[in-house]
């Protein structure tokens, strides 16, 4: 494949962007894939206007009609999986085999789930709560135009997490992919054009400070959904506090602790971390990136991790044997290297896998043994880097985990159910796994606490988040 769609998708039509062009790269080679013109301010206004007009009809469609559209989108994704997977792999650096069989399958599953969930919206039973003659009932209505900002680490999957529940609920969407990875969502827009009424989903491209800010600040936008970093989350909250207060839905990153108790199954743990720490080159907000291991097991665990890291296969995404590919950009590569270089300069033990391919944005899998106060233990690295820190007792590990500014993903490893549950119940994280890590289910909510944001992706809860509850009383 050499041709990529680079046009905006506005009101059911593909149009050339009128703003400055952003270069989309192929991370495996460090070379440009396409020049993608950004949306102008006028085109953002057109996209929001189109969504506003489409909302008036789409919101009145019966749930079964919206359901049929989402189910058709899921079927179309499966029919075009090869094309979508190749675009995702080349622009985001994902191993093609994982993009095809894993992530695109999940994208289709998300649309299919919300295509059925919208026909089963929960609400309290109608009743005479204030006595006879007054009957109360609840409506869950759509909100209006939703501005959505998708990240670069899972361009299609995160877009699906946002678009599917929003349009299932009856809203209309204007979504901006990251300027680093716009190509797969633009390719997916062919499916939207075939199935959805014009204006229900609109895709605009460009950077955050210009295009993103203009989008979330628009007067007709009623809700903003962002997956990004804390700094961008604060900018969203400022925009949401404008003349027309907007709802917000924020997922802002994480620093997932892995608490390894003295009785943990180390072999199962290490095999799990092979994927949970290094899938997608560690560019995952819930990646198992910092291990807190009991003092009695830290050395045998370190030895097992060193052997695992040495056997990890990474490289160009079109290879059938690679377990992860490059990081997203030269800037990200330099950022990750900065964390590891500073850790090495401070005298911390650094263990790395095979040398990186010099032609792309690759970084070797890395393990750093460091104390709790170290930068690499506290800050989100967002790369194939894992830290390990010894603790004296379970309470110390729990205190360390909860002291973090983040609260998205976490895991506890113990063969004693009561011990694992006691720690899990006390963790201040939106998601806690016990004796596993990083496994998602579309039926279960995914969201954060503290600086990791609020609002749920996935599950019925996300569908509810894209509605506004109303009380009607008949007297």
Backbone angles phi, psi at 334, to 5 degrees: -65, -35
User: Which among 358, 381, 357 has a CA at the least distance from the CA of 368?
Assistant: 381
- Cα–Cα distance between 426 and 121 in angstroms, integer? 31
Q: With H, G, I as helix, E, B as strand and everything else as coil, classify residue 294.
A: strand
The residue to which tokens 């869950």 are assigned: 140
Q: With H, G, I as helix, E, B as strand and everything else as coil, classify residue 157.
A: helix
230 burial via Cβ count (<10 Å: 0-12, 13-18, 19+): middle
Is the entire prediction scored with pTM above 0.95?
Answer: yes
Tell me, what's the pLDDT at 355?
82
Could you count the other beta carbons within 10 Å of the beta carbon of residue 243? 6
Token reading at 361: 């944005």
User: Which among 309, 306, 302 has a CA at the least distance from the CA of 260?
Assistant: 302
CB-based contact 94:103 (threshold 8 Å)? yes
| Catalytic residue status for 380 | no
CB-based contact 343:366 (threshold 8 Å)? no
- Cα–Cα distance between 76 and 102 in angstroms, integer? 16
Instruction: Classify the phi-psi angles of 450: left when phi > 0, otherwise alpha if psi is within -120 to 50, otherwise beta.
Output: left
- Cα–Cα distance between 132 and 145 in angstroms, integer? 38
Report all structural domains of the chain as residue ranges with CATH numbers, in order of start.
Answer: 8-253+452-474 (3.40.605.10), 257-434 (3.40.309.10)
- Cα–Cα distance between 290 and 400 in angstroms, integer? 11
Which residue is catalytic, options 179, 251, 323, 380? 251
Tell me, what's the pLDDT at 2?
56
What does the pLDDT profile of the chain (475 residues) look like in tens digits?
458 999 999 999 999 999 999 999 999 999 999 999 999 999 999 999 999 999 999 999 999 999 999 999 999 999 999 999 999 999 999 999 999 999 999 999 999 999 999 999 988 899 999 999 999 999 999 999 999 999 999 999 999 999 999 999 999 999 999 999 999 999 999 999 999 999 999 999 999 999 999 999 999 999 999 999 999 999 999 999 999 999 999 999 999 999 999 999 999 999 999 999 999 999 999 999 999 999 999 999 999 999 999 999 999 999 999 999 999 999 999 999 999 999 999 999 999 998 877 789 999 999 999 999 999 999 999 999 999 999 999 999 999 999 999 999 999 999 999 999 999 999 999 999 999 999 999 999 999 999 999 999 999 999 999 999 999 999 9
The residue to which tokens 């190509």 are assigned: 183
CB-based contact 167:143 (threshold 8 Å)? no
DSSP 426: H
Mention every residue, 6+ apart, whose C-beta is less than 8 A from residue 360.
27, 28, 29, 30, 93, 316, 325, 326
Q: With H, G, I as helix, E, B as strand and everything else as coil, classify residue 61.
A: coil
- Cα–Cα distance between 250 and 236 in angstroms, integer? 9
Backbone angles phi, psi at 29, to 5 degrees: -120, -10
Mention every residue, 6+ apart, whose C-beta is less than 8 A from residue 363.
281, 326, 327, 333, 336, 337, 356, 383, 384, 385
Instruction: Give the strand pairing for 409-413 and 256-260.
Output: parallel
- Cα–Cα distance between 386 and 378 in angstroms, integer? 12
Token reading at 420: 């694992």
Tell me, what's the pLDDT at 1?
47
CA 170, 172, 178, 183 dihedral sign is positive
Instruction: Give the strand pairing for 247-251 and 221-227.
Output: parallel
Residue 188, CB half-sphere, CA atoms under 13 Å: how many? 31
Helix ranges (DSSP H) in 140-255: 155-168, 183-195, 213-216, 230-240
475 burial via Cβ count (<10 Å: 0-12, 13-18, 19+): exposed
- Cα–Cα distance between 172 and 170 in angstroms, integer? 7
Mention every residue, 6+ apart, whose C-beta is less than 8 A from residue 460.
117, 120, 122, 443
Mention every residue, 6+ apart, whose C-beta is less than 8 A from residue 143.
169, 171, 222, 223, 247, 466, 467, 468
CB-based contact 12:198 (threshold 8 Å)? yes
CB-based contact 329:376 (threshold 8 Å)? no
Strand ranges, E, within 336-438: 349-352, 366-369, 385-391, 409-413, 431-434
- Cα–Cα distance between 1 and 149 in angstroms, integer? 27
């Amino acid at each position: 494949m050499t041709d990529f769609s680079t046009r905006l998708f506005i009101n059911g039509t593909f149009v050339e962007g009128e703003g400055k062009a952003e270069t989309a790269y192929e991370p495996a080679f460090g070379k440009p894939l396409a020049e993608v013109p950004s949306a102008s301010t006028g085109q953002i206004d057109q996209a929001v206007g189109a969504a506003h007009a489409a909302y008036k009809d789409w919101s009145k469609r019966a749930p079964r009609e919206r359901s049929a559209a989402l189910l058709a989108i899921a079927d179309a994704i499966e029919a075009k999986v090869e094309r979508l997977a190749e675009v995702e792999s080349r622009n985001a650096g994902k191993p093609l085999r994982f993009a095809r069989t894993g992530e695109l399958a999940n994208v289709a599953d998300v649309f299919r789930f919300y295509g059925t969930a919208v026909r089963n919206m929960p609400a309290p039973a109608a009743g005479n709560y204030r006595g006879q003659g007054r009957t109360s009932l609840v409506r869950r209505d759509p909100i209006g135009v939703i501005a959505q900002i998708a990240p670069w680490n899972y361009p299609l999957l995160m877009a699906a997490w946002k678009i599917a529940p929003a349009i299932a609920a009856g809203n209309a969407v204007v979504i901006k992919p990251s300027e680093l990875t716009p190509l797969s969502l633009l390719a997916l827009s062919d499916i939207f054009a075939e199935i959805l009424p014009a204006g229900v989903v609109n895709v605009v491209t460009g950077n955050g400070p210009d295009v993103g800010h203009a989008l979330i600040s628009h007067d007709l936008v009623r809700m903003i959904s962002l997956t990004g970093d804390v700094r961008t989350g604060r900018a969203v909250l400022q925009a949401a506090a404008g003349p027309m207060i907007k709802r917000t839905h924020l997922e802002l990153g994480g620093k997932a602790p892995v608490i390894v108790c003295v009785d943990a199954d180390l072999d199962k743990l290490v095999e799990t971390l092979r994927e949970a720490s290094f899938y997608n080159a560690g560019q995952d907000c819930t990646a198992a990136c910092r291990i807190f291991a009991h003092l009695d097991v830290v050395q045998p665990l370190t030895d097992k991790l060193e052997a695992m890291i040495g056997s990890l296969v990474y490289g160009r995404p079109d290879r059938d044997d690679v377990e992860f590919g490059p990081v997203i950009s030269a800037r990200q590569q330099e950022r990750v290297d900065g964390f590891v270089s500073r850790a090495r300069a401070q005298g911390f033990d650094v263990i790395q896998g095979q040398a990186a391919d010099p032609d792309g944005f690759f970084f070797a899998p890395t393990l750093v043994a460091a104390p709790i106060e170290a930068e690499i233990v506290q800050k989100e690295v967002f790369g194939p880097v894992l830290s390990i820190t010894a603790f004296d007792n379970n309470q110390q590990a729990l205190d360390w985990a909860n002291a973090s500014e983040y609260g998205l993903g976490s895991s506890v490893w113990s063969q004693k159910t009561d011990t694992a549950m006691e720690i899990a119940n006390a963790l201040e994280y939106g998601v806690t796994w016990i004796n596993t890590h990083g496994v998602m289910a579309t039926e279960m909510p995914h969201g954060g606490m503290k600086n990791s944001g609020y609002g749920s992706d996935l599950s019925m809860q996300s569908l509810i988040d894209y509605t506004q509850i109303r009380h009607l009383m008949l007297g």
